[in-house]
Structure 1
Amino acid sequence: APTVWAQNDAPDLRALAKKTRPAVYLLVLQDEDGKTIAAGTGFLISGEGLLVTNQHVIAEAHTIIAKAENGGLFPIRRVVASDSRNDLALLQLEGKDLPFLSLAPDFSAEVGTRVAIIGSPLGLEGTLTEGIVSARRRLPKENRDVLQISAPISKGSSGSPVLDSQGRVIGVASFLLQDGQSLNFASPSEKLRRLLNANSLTPNSPLPT
Structure 2
Amino acid sequence: MKRLASLLFVSVFAGAITLGAYILFFQKENFTIISQENNGSVVNTSYTPTSARGAGINEVDFTIAAENTVNAVVHVKNITLSQGPTTIFDFFYGTSRSAVPQVGTGSGVIISSDGYIVTNNHVINKATQLQVTLNNNRTYNAELIGTDPNSDIALIKIDPKEKLPYLAFGDSDHTKIGEWVLAVGNPFNLTSTVTAGIVSAKARNLGRNQSFIQTDAAVNPGNSGGALVNTNGDLVGINTAITSQTGSYVGYSFAVPSNIAKKVVQDILEYGNVQKGFMGIRPAPVNTRDAIEKGINNIDGVFIELVEEESAAQEAGIVVGDIIKKVDEIKVHKYPDLTGYLSTKRPGDTLAFVIDRDKELLTLPLVLKERQKLVVPEMGLEVKNLTEHDKKVYKISSGVKITGVPERYRGYGLSEKVIVKIDDYEIGNIDDAYTAFGAISKYGKTVIVMVGSNGERDRLIFQ
User: Shorter-chain-normalised TM-score: which range?
Assistant: 0.7 to 0.9
Q: Cα RMSD over matched residues?
A: 2.3
Q: How does 1:80-119 map to 2 (within 5 A)?
A: 80-95=145-160, 96-119=162-185
Q: How does 1:71-150 map to 2 (within 5 A)?
A: 71-76=137-142, 78-95=143-160, 96-139=162-205, 141-150=207-216
Seen in structure 2, the aligned counterparts of structure 1 residues 8 and 129 have a Cα distance that, compared at 3 Å, is closer
Seen in structure 2, the aligned counterparts of structure 1 residues 8 and 82 have a Cα distance that, compared at 3 Å, is same
Q: State how far apart, in whole Å, the 2-side matches of 1:146 and 1:84 are.
A: 15
Describe the superposition over 1:87-141 as per-residue Cα deviations: whole angstroms up to 9, x where unpaired.
1111111214111000112412221111001110000010000001100124273
Among 165, 176, 188, which residue is 2:231 paired with?
Answer: 165
TM normalised by structure 1 equals: 0.85
CA contact (8 A) 1:21 1:126 kept: yes
Higher-Rg structure is: 2
Report % sequence identity: 26
Describe the superposition over 1:26-77 as per-residue Cα deviations: whole angstroms up to 9, x where unpaired.
111212468451110001000011101000011032111111111111110x
In structure 2, runs of 5+ residues without a counterpart are: 1-54, 82-98, 271-463
CA contact (8 A) 2:202 2:213 kept: yes
Partner of 1:206: none
In structure 1, runs of 5+ residues without a counterpart are: 1-5, 202-209
Among 180, 193, 199, which residue is 2:268 paired with?
Answer: 199
CA contact (8 A) 2:66 2:182 kept: no
- Greater shift in the superposed pair: 86-95 or 15-24: 15-24
Describe the superposition over 1:167-207 as per-residue Cα deviations: whole angstroms up to 9, x where unpaired.
11000000001269442110000101211232345xxxxxx
Partner of 1:26: 75
**Secondary structure, in 3 states, of the residue corresponding to 2:263?**
helix
Seen in structure 2, the aligned counterparts of structure 1 residues 94 and 7 have a Cα distance that, compared at 3 Å, is farther
CA contact (8 A) 1:34 1:63 kept: no
- Greater shift in the superposed pair: 48-57 or 107-116: 107-116
Among 185, 190, 193, which residue is 2:259 paired with?
Answer: 190
Seen in structure 2, the aligned counterparts of structure 1 residues 116 and 139 have a Cα distance that, compared at 3 Å, is same
Q: State how far apart, in whole Å, the 1-side matches of 2:258 and 2:205 are.
A: 17
Q: Is 2:118 the counterpart of 1:60?
A: no
TM normalised by structure 2 equals: 0.40
> Given residue 40 of structure 1, which amino acid in structure 2 is its aligned partner?
G
Q: State how far apart, in whole Å, the 2-side matches of 1:138 and 1:150 are.
A: 13
**Secondary structure, in 3 states, of the residue corresponding to 2:262?**
helix
* Number of aligned residue pairs: 195
> Given residue 89 of structure 1, which amino acid in structure 2 is its aligned partner?
A
CA contact (8 A) 1:31 1:63 kept: yes
- The structure carrying a bigger strand percent of its residues is 1
**Secondary structure, in 3 states, of the residue corresponding to 2:122?**
helix
> Given residue 71 of structure 2, which amino acid in structure 1 is its aligned partner?
P
Among 44, 65, 89, which residue is 1:16 paired with?
Answer: 65
